[in-house]
């Protein structure tokens, strides 16, 4: 958790006092990367949190790293495709 806090501080994100765990911090980081601002439904914090709880922090970080290395035009589409494929297993 300390490592993630350092990364967020380095990127100069505003600290949100509602983020209590590594999972919450990860959800917020990914939402900001993909430019998600929805408050309800697809793209909302709870939408991401539901998927990430099932997968776990380690798997989500692995998928995110794979997407970043791929250097595609729409990383969010590749990310969600990989999440869907990983959820099927």
Number of domains in the chain: 1
Q: How many CB atoms neighbour CB 79 within 10 A?
A: 21
- The chain-wide mean pLDDT, for the chain, equals 82
The stretch 64-87 carries a mean pLDDT of: 90
Domain carrying residue 54: 2-88
The stretch 2-23 carries a mean pLDDT of: 66
pLDDT exceeds cutoff 70 at 10: no
d(CA 15, CA 43): 20
pLDDT exceeds cutoff 80 at 5: no
pLDDT exceeds cutoff 80 at 66: yes
pLDDT recorded at residue 13: 53
pLDDT exceeds cutoff 80 at 6: no
Distance of CA 80 to the CA centre of its chain: 10
């Amino acid at each position: 958790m300390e490592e993630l806090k350092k990364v967020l501080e380095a990127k100069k994100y505003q600290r949100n006092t509602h983020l209590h765990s590594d999972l919450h911090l990860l959800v917020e980081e990914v939402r900001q990367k993909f430019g998600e601002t929805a408050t309800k439904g697809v793209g909302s914090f709870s939408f991401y949190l539901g998927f990430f709880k099932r997968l776990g922090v380690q798997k989500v970080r692995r998928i995110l790293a794979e997407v970043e290395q791929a250097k595609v035009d729409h990383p969010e589409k590749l990310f969600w495709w990989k999440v869907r494929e990983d959820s099927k297993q």
